Amino acid sequence: MPNHTIVQIEHVTKTYLQGKVEVHAVKDLTLEIPNGDFSALCGPSGSGKTTVLNMIGGLDIPTQGKVVLEGHDLSTLSRAALSTLRRDRIGFVFQAYNLIPVMTAYENAEFVLKLQGVNNREIQDRVMKILKEVGLEALAHRRPDEMSGGQQQRVAITRAIATHPAIVLADEPTANVDSQTAESLLDLMQELNEEEGVTFLFSTHDPRVMDRARRLIRLHDGQLEKDEVRD
Amino acid sequence: MNITKIALRNICRNWHRTLVTTLAMGFAGLIMILFASLMQGMLQASERNAVTMDLGDMQVHAKGFRDDPDLYNRIKQPEALVEKIEQAGFHAAPRLYSFGLAASGSASSGVQMRGLDILAEQEVTQIHRHLMAGAWLDNIDPNGVVIGKRLAKTLGIQVGGELIFVGQSADGSIANELYHVRGILKSVGDNTDRAGLFMVESAFRDLFVLPEGSHEIAVMRTDRSKNLEKAKEKIVAMAEGYEVLDWRQLRPVVARILDLADTQLIIMIVITYIAVAMLVLNAMLMGVFERIREFGIMKAIGVKPFQLIIMIYVETLIQTMLASLIALAFGVGGATHLQQNGIDLSDMMSGASFGGVAIDPIWRAQLTVESVLTPILFLFIMSMISVLYPAIKAAMIQPMNAIHFQ
Closest Cα of chain A to B291: distance in Å?
A: 10
For position B44, what pLDDT does the model report?
80
Q: Spell out which residues of chain A touch residue B399, defining contact as CB-CB under 8 Å.
A: 59
Contact call for B9 and A102, based on CB within 8 A? yes
Q: Residue B222: exposed, middle, or buried by beta-carbon count in 10 A (0-12, 13-18, 19+)? A: exposed
For position B264, what pLDDT does the model report?
83
Q: How does pLDDT run across B94-114, given as a tens digit for each residue?
A: 999 999 999 998 999 999 999
Nearest residue in B to A55, CA atom: B400
Where do the domains of chain B lie? Answer: 3-51+254-403, 58-223
Q: Spell out which residues of chain B touch residue A60, defining contact as CB-CB under 8 Å.
A: 400
Question: Has residue A12 got a pLDDT over 60?
Answer: yes
For position A150, what pLDDT does the model report?
85
For position B355, what pLDDT does the model report?
65
pTM exceeds cut of 0.80: no
Mean pLDDT of chain B, nearest integer: 89
User: In degrees rounded to 5, what are phi and psi of residue B270?
Assistant: -65, -45
Q: Report the amino acid identity of residue B339.
A: Q
For position B132, what pLDDT does the model report?
92
Q: Which is nearest to B379 in space by CA: B31, B49, B141, B57?
A: B31
Establish if B401 touches chain A: CB-CB under 8 angstroms: no
Contact call for B9 and A80, based on CB within 8 A? no
Contact call for B303 and A84, based on CB within 8 A? no
pLDDT band at residue B303 under the 50/70/90 scheme: confident
% pLDDT > 90, chain B: 50
Establish if B405 touches chain A: CB-CB under 8 angstroms: no
Taking only residues 277 to 296 of chain B, the set having a beta carbon closer than 8 angstroms to any beta carbon of chain A reads 293-294
Distance CA B265, CA B40 (A): 10
Mean pLDDT of chain A, nearest integer: 89
Establish if B9 touches chain A: CB-CB under 8 angstroms: yes
For position B370, what pLDDT does the model report?
87
CA geometry: angle at B245 spanning B243 and B250, to 5°? Answer: 125
Model ipTM over 0.90: no
Contact call for A115 and B307, based on CB within 8 A? yes
Establish if B299 touches chain A: CB-CB under 8 angstroms: yes
Question: Has residue B69 got a pLDDT over 60?
Answer: yes
Q: How does pLDDT run across A166-176, given as a tens digit for each residue?
A: 899 999 888 87
Establish if A159 touches chain B: CB-CB under 8 angstroms: yes
Rg from Cα positions in chain A: 17
Establish if B6 touches chain A: CB-CB under 8 angstroms: yes
For position B356, what pLDDT does the model report?
66
Establish if A98 touches chain B: CB-CB under 8 angstroms: yes
Contact call for B300 and A110, based on CB within 8 A? no
For position B404, what pLDDT does the model report?
67
Question: Has residue B159 got a pLDDT over 90?
Answer: yes
SS (H, E, C) A85-147: HHHHHEEEECCCCCCCCCCCHHHHHHHHHHHHCCCHHHHHHHHHHHHHHCCCHHHCCCCHHHC
Question: Has residue A3 got a pLDDT over 60?
Answer: no
Q: How does pLDDT run across B117-158, given as a tens digit for each residue?
A: 999 999 999 899 889 999 999 999 999 999 999 999 999 999
Question: Has residue B48 got a pLDDT over 90?
Answer: no
For position B258, what pLDDT does the model report?
81
At A66 the three-state DSSP class reads: strand
Contact call for A103 and B6, based on CB within 8 A? yes
Averaged pLDDT for residues A88-94: 89
Q: Residue B399: exposed, middle, or buried by beta-carbon count in 10 A (0-12, 13-18, 19+)? A: buried
Establish if B298 touches chain A: CB-CB under 8 angstroms: yes
Taking only residues 247 to 266 of chain B, the set having a beta carbon closer than 8 angstroms to any beta carbon of chain A reads none
At A216 the three-state DSSP class reads: strand
Q: How does pLDDT run across A106-129, given as a tens digit for each residue?
A: 999 999 898 888 999 999 998 998
Where do the domains of chain A lie? Answer: 35-58+76-229
Dmax over CA atoms of chain A, in Å, equals 54
Averaged pLDDT for residues A63-88: 91
Pick from A100-109, A189-198, A210-219, B333-342: least confident: A189-198
User: In what order do the strands lie in the sheet containing A5-18?
Assistant: A21-34, A5-18, A64-69, A72-73
Q: How does pLDDT run across B194-251, given as a tens digit for each residue?
A: 999 999 999 999 999 999 999 999 999 988 778 889 999 999 999 999 999 999 899 8
CATH placement of domain A35-58+76-229? 3.40.50.300
Q: How does pLDDT run across A26-75, given as a tens digit for each residue?
A: 999 999 999 999 999 999 888 899 899 999 999 888 999 999 999 999 98
Q: Spell out which residues of chain A touch residue B299, defining contact as CB-CB under 8 Å.
A: 83
For position B333, what pLDDT does the model report?
95
Distance CA B147, CA B160 (A): 12
Averaged pLDDT for residues B63-86: 92
Closest CB to A79: pick one of B6, B300, B305: B305
Nearest residue in B to A80, CA atom: B304
Establish if B307 touches chain A: CB-CB under 8 angstroms: yes
Question: Has residue B257 got a pLDDT over 70?
Answer: yes
SS (H, E, C) chain B: CCHHHHHHHHHHHCHHHHHHHHHHHHHHHHHHHHHHHHHHHHHHHHHHHHHHHHHCCEEEEECCCCCCCCCCCCECCHHHHHHHHHHCCEEEEEEEEEEEEEEECCEEEEEEEEEECHHHHHHHCCHHHCEEEECCCCCCCCCEEEECHHHHHHHCCCCCCEEEEEEECCCCCEEEEEEEEEEEECCCEHHHHHHEEEEEHHHHHHHHCCCCCECEEEEEECCCCCCHHHHHHHHHHHCCCEEEEEHHHHCHHHHHHHHHHHHHHHHHHHHHHHHHHHHHHHHHHHHHHHCHHHHHHHHHCCCCHHHHHHHHHHHHHHHHHHHHHHHHHHHHHHHHHHHHHCEECHHHHCCCEECCEECCCEECCCCCHHHHHHHHHHHHHHHHHHCHHHHHHHHCCCHHHHHCCC
Q: How does pLDDT run across B275-297, given as a tens digit for each residue?
A: 888 888 888 888 788 888 888 88
Closest CB to B1: pick one of A80, A88, A103: A103
Bridge pairing between strands A223-229 and A215-220: antiparallel
Averaged pLDDT for residues B338-352: 80
Q: Which is nearest to B21 in space by CA: B292, B297, B308, B326?
A: B326
Q: Report the amino acid identity of residue B351.
A: G
Establish if B18 touches chain A: CB-CB under 8 angstroms: no
Q: Spell out which residues of chain B touch residue A102, defining contact as CB-CB under 8 Å.
A: 6, 9-10, 13
Establish if A112 touches chain B: CB-CB under 8 angstroms: yes
Q: How does pLDDT run across B315-325, given as a tens digit for each residue?
A: 999 999 999 99
Closest Cα of chain B to A49: distance in Å?
A: 14
For position A63, what pLDDT does the model report?
93
% pLDDT > 70, chain B: 96
Please indicate whether residue A19 or residue B192 has the higher confidence score (pLDDT).
B192
